[in-house]
Amino acid sequence: MLASLAIDNGANECSADVIDDDNYTPPRDAFHTNPQLCKDMIARLASPFPLEIRSSSICMGSGLFAGAEIDAGREIYCVPLQLAAIDADDTSFCHWCFKDQKAGFGRPSEDGAVKTCTGCKTARFCSKDCQKQAWTYFHKDECKVLRKAPKMRTQHLLAHRVFFWLRRGQNALGKVNRYLETHFNEFSKNGPRITEIMDIAMAIHDETGRTTELSLVWRTVPAMRMNCVRLRPPTKKESVGYAFDAVTATINHSCDPNAFVFFEGRKLCIRSLKKIAAGEEITICYLDPTLDVAARKALLKHEYFFDCNCNRCNSEHKEKLSLLRPSKDIEPLHRAQQEVHAVLRSATRAAKHPGIYPAFDDLPTVETKIRTIINNVFPSAPWPEHLEPLPSARLVLANLYLDQGKAIPALRNALKGKFRSTRRGGGPEWINEMTDVMTVLVIAGSLPRDAVAYEDKTFPSVDDIKAVTYGYLYEGCRQAGKVFGGEAAYTKGLCSMLTEMLRTNPGVRVGTKQFRHEFEKAQGTVMAWAGMKPEDGMVLS
Ligand SMILES: C[S@@+](CC[C@H](N)C(=O)[O-])C[C@H]1O[C@@H](n2cnc3c(N)ncnc32)[C@H](O)[C@@H]1O
């Protein structure tokens, strides 16, 4: 088993190969300066498409290119998740099999809850078997590390793992380490940040018995920060950990990417989001693409040391300026966006971790607070409905209301959050947000006839809510099949929900002209109740 866990990129190489090479401090050589290494890396992928690592068309270093046209919705490659870890603050994923133990929409619960390691009280496993496997391959070493620093950044934990494995004679990074971007010089310009890197490097050096050159550890810590990808399950917009894979580390960022990364069990998959032309560079989004342009730019600069100049950033920035006219001052808008996020963070933390974080305002007060913050930015007109963070705030509020069993404000917020954003079209985030809306719809549709909601004569009928739920689920299944692939557990989960709903309601014929007509009518009623126009809703494909 250890052999299959060992990273393929020169897994059995002698560690001395790495240590003897003293070229571990910046500047590095980019990958494409070593064409043979690039060919070897690509050859291990078994991708159905010809791929190439070349000089990037976006930035100074290397990038990954399609050698032939790739249609939208195709698997570009899948690799075993070897160097990967779940974040300390995630509570539902097993740290060995990477399966989600919590049930959700289209996602049945796995057997049993995750149990926390009694040693470090951080790592979690869904079974004794998973715990044993993890203990053998990494947790025996990492348990001690996590006991001292349970909140350690996941990428730093992975840097520890690289050197624990190296001590055992396994070179997890193979020949690629010296070619990885580190931004060491940029870190060096910032006292606290370089001190953090050095402290981690010193700790790794000590923990691993000082068996490796310290300079190698120094460069590997920021290399893990720059080159690990976010581990995103199909079910969530947020990532739950980080993973390193050598080829994936060559993919550059775009806020409007043509590909995306997700994981399923111990597999990392890259799929196309749109048609990629032969010779075009493959891009992924390094962060949550639903973030506002200012938040994306700030995060990319802070975490990856570059100024994003993509078309999407430029057009969204221009749009903001035009909304603010005649004022040219964008700062109050950015401040308001940050304040709204801060309010939502406090409300969410207080709701999810009662007793740990201080109690926060009730939800109508939170809504009022948000409205007050944003009204100050556009005093003579309402804050544009599609402008972040309003749509995202509404989706967060919908989930918080739902947790309190308040389906009516949850439904209003969910519909406005989902359909007033500019994030139209199918994509992984579109599907996740749609499942949030469907969760609320299912609960609203099962309210008893004497529920308070029905005192409101404009509240949609159960039949309308059901027709809209079927339509959204039908579209969600189609989009999930395109985006994640028909074989993904999430797609299968959504489709079996639809099948089950249709089995219990045999009169419904989704996909027919008649159903389309019923859906449009019902959606119009639901939209009108929520204070939206019929054209705000979804069009069945
Ligand atoms: C994971 S590496 C990607 C591969 C890298 N270009 C290389 O040569 O190894 C991430 C780094 O690539 C660069 N990068 C990625 N996307 C970029 C973009 N859209 N604009 C500018 N630089 C980018 C940044 O230096 C970033 O820290």
| DSSP type of residue 444 | H
Burial of 280 (0-12, 13-18, 19+ CB in 10 A): middle
Average pLDDT for 71-82: 96
Of 24-33, 113-122, 186-195, 414-423, the poorest mean pLDDT is in: 24-33
Choice from 181, 182, 242 to test ligand 1 binding pocket (greatest atom count within 8 A of CB): 181
Distance (Å) from CA 79 to ligand 1 centroid: 21
The residue type of 108 is P
Report CA(193)–ligand 1 centroid distance (Å).
Answer: 19
| Residue 260 to residue 294: CA distance in whole angstroms | 21
Rounded to the nearest angstrom, the distance between the alpha carbon of 186 and the centre of ligand 1 is 14
- Across residues 50-61, what is the average pLDDT? 96
Helix axes 390-403, 363-375, angle to 10 degrees: 170
Q: Residue 49: left (phi > 0), alpha (psi -120 to 50), or beta? A: beta
Q: What is the pLDDT of residues 113-127, one digit of tens each?
A: 788 999 999 999 999
> Could you identify the atom of ligand 1 that is nearest to the CA of residue 62?
8
184 C-alpha to ligand 1 centroid (Å): 14
Residue among 31, 56, 182 to mutate when testing ligand 1 (max atoms within 8 A of CB): 56
**Token code pair at residue 164:** 């624990």
What residues are in contact with ligand 1 under a 6 Å CB criterion? Answer: 30-31, 56, 58-59, 61-63, 181, 183, 226-227, 249-250, 252-254, 304-306, 308
Ligand 1, residues 54, 224, 304, 309: which to mutate, most atoms within 8 A of Cβ? 304
29 CA → ligand 1 middle, Å:
14
Those residues with Cβ within 8 angstroms of residue 50's Cβ, 6 or more apart along the chain or in another chain: 66, 67, 68
- Cα of 289 from ligand 1 centre, angstroms: 17
300-333: per-residue pLDDT in tens? 999 999 999 899 999 999 998 888 877 778 899 9
For 11-15, 75-79, 100-104, which range has the lowest pLDDT when averaged over its residues?
11-15
If you measure from the C-alpha of residue 80 to the centroid of ligand 1, how many angstroms do you get, rounded to a whole number? 23
Residue nearest to atom 19 of ligand 1 (CA): 253
Which residue among 64, 253, 284 is best mutated to probe the pocket of ligand 1, counting the most ligand atoms within 8 A of its Cβ? 253
What values do phi and psi take at 379, rounded to 5?
-65, -30
Residue from 59, 186, 230, 282 whose mutation best tests the ligand 1 pocket (most atoms within 8 A of CB):
59
Query: What is the distance in A from the centroid of ligand 1 to the CA of 120?
Result: 35
CATH label, 2-88+152-284, candidates 3.40.50.150, 2.170.270.10, 1.10.3720.10, 3.40.718.10: 2.170.270.10
Instruction: Tell me what ipTM this predicted complex has.
Output: 1.00
List all residues 6 or more positions away from 24 whose beta carbon is below 8 Å from its beta carbon.
177, 178, 213, 215, 216, 218, 219
Q: Does the pLDDT at position 6 exceed 50?
A: no
SS3 at position 225 = helix
Per-residue pLDDT, 107: 67
Residue bearing the CA closest to ligand 1, atom 14: 252
Name the H helices within 27-97. Answer: 35-43
How far, in Å, from the CA of 253 to the mean position of ligand 1?
A: 7
Amino acid at position 490, single letter: Y
CA distance 167 to 211: 7
Predicted confidence band of residue 112 (pLDDT cuts 50, 70, 90):
low
252 CA distance to ligand 1 centroid (A)?
Answer: 5
Amino acid at position 471, single letter: G
pLDDT higher than 70, residue 61: yes
Q: Residue 324: which of 394, 373, 379, 392 has the closest Cα?
A: 379
Q: Among 23-32, 180-189, 276-285, 508-517, whose mean pLDDT is lowest? A: 23-32
Q: What pLDDT is recorded for position 358? A: 80
pLDDT per position as a tens digit, 215-226: 999 999 999 999
Domain ranges of the chain: 2-88+152-284, 329-378, 384-541
The alpha carbon of 70 and the centre of ligand 1 are apart by a number of angstroms equal to 22
Q: Whose CA is nearest to atom 15 of ligand 1?
A: 252
Q: Could you identify the atom of ligand 1 that is nearest to the CA of residue 310?
A: 19
pLDDT for res 423: 60
For residue 56, which atom of ligand 1 is closest to its CA?
Answer: 6
CA of 306 to the centre of ligand 1 (A): 8
pLDDT of residue 110: 61
Instruction: Output the average pLDDT for the chain.
Output: 90
Q: Where would I find the H helices in 230-388?
A: 293-304, 311-324, 331-352, 363-375
- Residue 2 has a pLDDT of 30
- Residue 453 binned pLDDT confidence (cut-offs 50, 70, 90): confident
252-264 per-position pLDDT tens digit:
999 999 999 999 9
Residue of 280, 323, 273 lying closest to 423 (CA atoms): 273
Return d(Cα 515, Cα 508) in angstroms, integer.
7
